[in-house]
Chains A and B, each alone.
Chain A
């Protein structure tokens, strides 16, 4: 049972435009959400997170929105840059330090 779902395996965006990556979860006990970015042949790196007590967190070009009633979060990248091309994983946490990851969305930002 996939508790964290990223329904779009890939997304293509032009440089300078907005990228929106989506993530849905089913477990209402999740209270902390993270986004990781992964380049080929490298480990994932932490990008941004949000606690369930908030509905928005912003860090530079990256903003994460959380809609608890819909069990949905999204990552907005504005403006998108070619260096943002990577696989993005959504992750959720609710119990002892275990993260549950989504299947990932491959973002391609073209010049």
Chain B
């Protein structure tokens, strides 16, 4: 079974603090993603990474950065936490395979349990 783990289930931080959210997957997946889930807004993509040291902005990258130094680990960083970053943060990973037309990503993503972050 694919396992995606996140460093904390619940986190409370103060405005202006630097916050690190860690995600680790154990299935050698190339792709990793960070989402946030808010009521009425669904899941929104913050950043994703398709390889070590590679990153791409998602739909809402402002106020966030990421780091992927190792294949299995993808970190989300809030440089200066603000109250509007209070949310559920979800990490996901997915596999890639090589087809006749090149690199193809599996659509199915496997999610971690989430980190409920509260910024006071």
List the interface of chain A (C-beta within 8 A of B).
Answer: 4, 6, 9, 32, 34, 36, 41-46, 49, 89, 91, 93, 96-99, 101-104
Q: Which of B44, B48, B94, B107 has the most CB of A within 10 A?
A: B107
Q: Please name all residues of chain B whose beta carbon is closer than 8 Å to the beta carbon of A44 when the two chains form the complex.
A: 43, 90, 111
Q: List 26 A-B contacts (CB under 8 A).
A: A32-B107, A34-B107, A34-B108, A36-B111, A41-B9, A41-B114, A43-B4, A43-B92, A43-B111, A43-B113, A44-B111, A46-B110, A89-B42, A96-B50, A97-B48, A97-B50, A97-B96, A97-B106, A98-B45, A98-B58, A99-B45, A99-B107, A99-B109, A101-B43, A101-B44, A104-B42
> Which residue of the partner chain, among B42, B44, B114, contacts A42 with CB atoms under 8 Å?
B114
Interface residues on B, range: 20 to 34
Please give the distance in Å from B1's CB to the nearest CB on chain A: 11
Whether, in the assembled complex, B40 has its beta carbon less than 8 Å from a beta carbon of chain A, the answer is: yes
CB distance A43 to B40 under 8 Å?
A: no
Chain B residues whose CB sits within 8 angstroms of the CB of A96 once the complex forms: 50, 105
CA distance A89 to B41 in the complex (A): 11
Interface residue SS majority, chain B: strand
Question: How far does the Cβ of A23 sit from chain B's closest Cβ, in whole Å?
Answer: 11
> What is the bound-complex CA distance between A96 and B45, given in angstroms?
13
* Cβ-closest chain B residue relative to A9: B40
List of B residues within 8 angstroms of A45 by Cβ: 111
Least Cβ distance of A60 to chain B in Å?
Answer: 17
CB distance from A86 to the nearest CB of B (A): 13
In the complex formed, the residue of B with least CB distance to A99 is: B109
A3 CB → nearest B CB, Å: 10
Distance between A93 CB and nearest chain B CB, rounded to angstroms: 5
Q: Is B31 an interface residue (CB 8 A)?
A: yes
